[in-house]
Amino acid sequence: MRLKFLHKLLILTVTPVLIAQAGTMLAVLQTSKQEIEAGAKQALRVGSAVAEQLVQTRNQQISRNVKLLASDFALKEVIAISDPESTRSALDNHANRIGADLSTFVYIDDDGESDRATSALERHVQRYALTVLDNDGALPDIFSIVLGKSVYQVYTAEMRAPTTIGYLMLGFRVGDNIAKPIRKLTDLNVAILQIGATGINTAVSTFDAAHSHVPPPDLLNKQLAANSVYPKLVGPDEFWVTHLPLTRADERVFIVLASQKLKPLQHFLKAKDNVLAFGVGLLVLVVALGAWLSAGVSRPLRSLASATRSLAKGEYETEIRVASRDEIGELAQGFEEMRKAVASRESQISHQLLHDPLTGLPNQKHTIAVLEREIDSQAVTEVSLIVIKMQSLDRIGSSLGLHSTDELTRETARTIASVAGDGYFVACIDTNRFAVACCNTDLATAQALARDITDQLDLGTQLGSTRITLKSHAGVAHYPSHTTSAEDLIRYAMIASVDAKGKKLRLDTYDTGREADFTRYLKIVQDLPTAVEHEELKVFFQPKVSIASGELYGAEALVRWQHAELGFLPPDDFISAAERSDNIKLLTRYVIQKAIAAARQWQDDGFTLKVAVNLSARDLLDRDLFGYVTEVLEQHDVPTTRLILEITESSVMEELDLAVETLNTFRAAGILVSIDDFGTGHSSLAQLRDLPLDELKIDKSFVSQISADSDDELLISTTIELAHGMGLTVVAEGIEDEYSLRRLKHHKCEIAQGYFFSKPLPEDDFRRWMADYRPADYTERRSETRPFSPPQPSQAAPDTPGQMKKRP
Ligand code: C2E
Ligand code: CA
Ligand code: CA
């Protein structure tokens, strides 16, 4: 069993008291017992002296009276001269007077014998008296005699007239007259015993009925006889006993004094009970005192223990208060200081947990909590949430340094907070992502605020001597019209901000149902790296034909993805996702590798074709791409002039200088650069003059319009002319019919690409297609022996939906 501290303390206080008590009790018991014994013995000794004194005084008194009577002249005359009857009568009279129980007179004749007794009793007494004569023949003053059951003390006195005529003898029965006064004076049991030849005769006894058989005193024990006290059984009980002769020099009649051993002890036992009661009382007092004291010590310890338990549970609010000023108090003080330190650290940590370390603004977790609270609140009927997505600082970071990007982020946070004002909750929910929660604010007001914020951000931030402008896109979502969940509200606003970027808008508002698209988008982003790794992506090839000769010129590599869950995915569905998530590098390299390997294969098959690969804006910023491309070309032993990189106007414009630098590097190595989708962008050809280009691809939206719209044809013809002026080869894509092809030939367009020749084909199909291909002169289009036929609807790429879609 584990003892509690309280109990240990209690034992510590109570045990010494208990031991002391028991010791005292034992000692008291021992000494009391001795004391009582000594007292009892002393009482007996005193009693014995008292009894002796009493008997002696009585003897002297009676002796004197008897002697006085013996000298009475009248009595003398009667005894000397009268007849026995008269003598008897006179004796009776006198005996009565002094209270004697029997009387007789013994005459002393010359012969020393006399027989003038009047009764047998007298004669007996007289005869007995003779037996007690002393050595000189004289009668003792007192002797005892047993008559029947009674013991008498007989007092004798010599009678002279003038010579001794005899002895007067008066007997007094021994009884209460002796025992009672002794008993009264000593409070001892008194018995007077006569020890005769026939046994013990009890003359008188103050013992009660239970103790009526008083045993004879230990006469043989001389030591005891000398007025000593000794134990003896009387009846069933033990007594302290002493004895003394009733009459001196008479060893037959004794006074026995006794005191019951147990009796004084009973007083003691009563006292012992009191002592015990006192002891128990004391013990109770000590236990109570000990308990109080121990509690005084253990209570603060217990409160300390419970305080530490609270600390362990993470409750740091309650102050640890222990009033005592002792060591425990000091300990408690220490604990209290520790609690404060931990509490402050805890609040720091929880602040860090709920705040963005850089801007000090509440973080996403905090924002969700606040939104949840607001949504739950009765007072709040609607919440509009704005999420502002800032342009990534990665590239700026590398040129400006980390310190500047941190400052830029903080400055952005300050700008947003100052535009939002005090009424709104501003948070930093992610890197480069801020949020403004607007309670009881409708969507229109929030949209206006979002515009104000992006307008302000567009003004840029002064950082030292340079002014830096970061692009920002805002998304807005609304409770309750979009969702009732705080987390969804944030997510929806985020989706809206991503959509805003995708749509190249400053601000977009969440569209109900957009979430499903977004989930699909996220899935695509998530699965793309493994798809590349496991070669789930397939590269298709679409032929490019020299219009003048009808010969095969090259092929464009176009990627496709057969997604395990989402099914067939056209590039439009995942290219932009790859671009946004930085997976585009992986994808581009994959396609380049497949395209160059295919070119090698074609060459081995006897076809010397150029292969075109599409690049994204990101690829133009990838400084390692050139190294990769040349390595793959070398690896497959394909000349650099065999590769065309297709870029779009917008991708070049994003980071013009860097893009131009990259393109120059490629071109310097002999790789060709083609500007894709021409005509859909904002720039005119004149603006593209400074770009390092080899080829221009007129967008399919113009080509397909040729037959219907003469304006388009005019645009195409001027573009071709201008492009030729700039030394560019012109490619027309999206040729679906022979008419378009003829018109393009007419305008001196060099290369054609489109379903008219073939849809994009898997590599094996493409090789088969090539083997079957026969060049033709498209000016002779009405001839009956055309080596090719326009694409059948059934052939129109069921695995490539969306290919027929026109660009806006
Ligand atoms: P793009 O570079 O303009 O590619 C030409 C697109 O026009 C292809 O669509 C092609 O299948 C389609 N097309 C070809 N002939 C005709 C025709 O006669 N009529 C019509 N209506 N369409 C025709 P696809 O394969 O769906 O590719 C769409 C876009 O995805 C491409 O447009 C390109 O921008 C991008 N893309 C495809 N593969 C890659 C790639 O490997 N890397 C990158 N960065 N982008 C790629
Ligand atoms: Ca292209
Ligand atoms: Ca194109």
Q: Are 412 and 434 in contact (CB under 8 A)?
A: yes
Average pLDDT over residues 745-757: 95
> Which residue owns the Cα nearest ligand 1 atom 30?
571
pLDDT of residue 788 exceeding 70, the answer is no
Lowest mean pLDDT segment, chosen from 55-59, 417-421, 673-677? 55-59
- Spacing, Cα 110 to ligand 2 middle (Å): 192
Lowest mean pLDDT segment, chosen from 9-18, 438-447, 784-793? 784-793
The pLDDT value recorded for residue 220 is: 53
pLDDT of residue 425 exceeding 90, the answer is yes
The pLDDT value recorded for residue 787 is: 38
d(CA 128, CA 130) in angstroms, rounded, equals 5
Q: Are 489 and 482 in contact (CB under 8 A)?
A: yes
d(CA 530, CA 577) in angstroms, rounded, equals 15
Return the ligand 1 atom nearest residue 735 CA.
18
> Which residue owns the Cα nearest ligand 1 atom 37?
558
- Spacing, Cα 435 to ligand 1 middle (Å): 38
DSSP per residue over 657-684, as a string?
HHHHHHHHHHHHTT-EEEEEEETSSS--
- 299 vs 181, more confident: 181
The pLDDT value recorded for residue 128 is: 80
pLDDT of residue 725 exceeding 50, the answer is yes
> Three-class SS string for 183-222?
HHHHCCEEEEEEEECCEEEEEEECCCHHHCCCCCCCCCCH
Return the ligand 1 atom nearest residue 579 CA.
44
> Which residue owns the Cα nearest ligand 1 atom 9?
803
d(CA 425, CA 437) in angstroms, rounded, equals 5
Q: What is the pLDDT of residues 736-747, one digit of tens each?
A: 999 899 999 999
Residue type (1 letter), 84: P
Q: What is the pLDDT of residues 495-515, one digit of tens each?
A: 999 889 888 899 999 998 888
d(CA 443, CA 479) in angstroms, rounded, equals 9
d(CA 355, CA 363) in angstroms, rounded, equals 5
The pLDDT value recorded for residue 115 is: 59
β-pair partners for 648: 676
Q: What is the pLDDT of residues 186-216, one digit of tens each?
A: 888 898 888 777 777 888 888 888 787 777 7
The pLDDT value recorded for residue 1 is: 59
Average pLDDT over residues 346-353: 87
- Per-chain mean pLDDT for the chain: 85
pLDDT of residue 551 exceeding 50, the answer is yes
* DSSP tag of 345: H
pLDDT of residue 715 exceeding 50, the answer is yes
With residue 304 as reference, give the H or E element that holds it: helix 262-313
Ligand nearest the Cα atom of residue 680: 3
Q: What are phi and psi of 249, to 5 degrees?
A: 65, 20
pLDDT of residue 785 exceeding 70, the answer is no
Using CB atoms within 10 A of its CB, is residue 460 exposed (0-12), middle (13-18) or buried (19+)?
Answer: middle
- 523 vs 327, more confident: 523
Residues contacting residue 460 through CB under 8 Å, at least 6 positions apart: 467, 468, 469, 470
Q: Are 199 and 213 in contact (CB under 8 A)?
A: no
d(CA 35, CA 367) in angstroms, rounded, equals 93
User: Residues lining ligand 1, judged by CB closer than 6 Å?
Assistant: 542, 557-559, 570-572, 575, 591, 614-616, 646, 676-677, 700, 733-736, 753-755, 760, 802-804
d(CA 739, CA 795) in angstroms, rounded, equals 20
- Cβ atoms < 10 Å from Cβ of 748: 13
Q: What is the pLDDT of residues 595-650, one digit of tens each?
A: 999 999 999 999 999 999 999 999 999 999 999 999 999 999 999 999 999 999 98
Percent of all residues in the chain with a pLDDT value above 70, rounded to a whole number = 92
d(CA 461, CA 165) in angstroms, rounded, equals 169
- Cβ atoms < 10 Å from Cβ of 720: 20
Return the ligand 1 atom nearest residue 699 CA.
3
The pLDDT value recorded for residue 782 is: 45
d(CA 719, CA 729) in angstroms, rounded, equals 11
Question: To test ligand 1's pocket by mutation, which of 561, 580, 614 has the most ligand atoms within 8 angstroms of CB?
Answer: 614
d(CA 791, CA 438) in angstroms, rounded, equals 57
Token code pair at residue 415: 């700008």
Using CB atoms within 10 A of its CB, is residue 661 exposed (0-12), middle (13-18) or buried (19+)?
Answer: middle
- Spacing, Cα 589 to ligand 3 middle (Å): 19
d(CA 663, CA 672) in angstroms, rounded, equals 9
The pLDDT value recorded for residue 264 is: 64
d(CA 470, CA 459) in angstroms, rounded, equals 9
Average pLDDT over residues 649-678: 94
Closest-CA residue to 384 (of 433, 423, 353)? 423
pLDDT bucket at 555, cuts 50 / 70 / 90: very high
- 687 vs 566, more confident: 566
β-pair partners for 558: 540
pLDDT of residue 479 exceeding 70, the answer is yes
Average pLDDT over residues 82-103: 86
The pLDDT value recorded for residue 117 is: 67
Closest-CA residue to 370 (of 435, 414, 425, 429)? 425
pLDDT of residue 656 exceeding 60, the answer is yes
Longest dimension (CA), the chain: 221
The pLDDT value recorded for residue 454 is: 96
Which of 152-161, 323-332, 645-654, 787-796 is predicted most confidently?
A: 645-654
Average pLDDT over residues 126-142: 78
Average pLDDT over residues 462-466: 83
Question: To test ligand 1's pocket by mutation, which of 613, 615, 651, 733 has the most ligand atoms within 8 angstroms of CB?
Answer: 733
pLDDT bucket at 790, cuts 50 / 70 / 90: very low
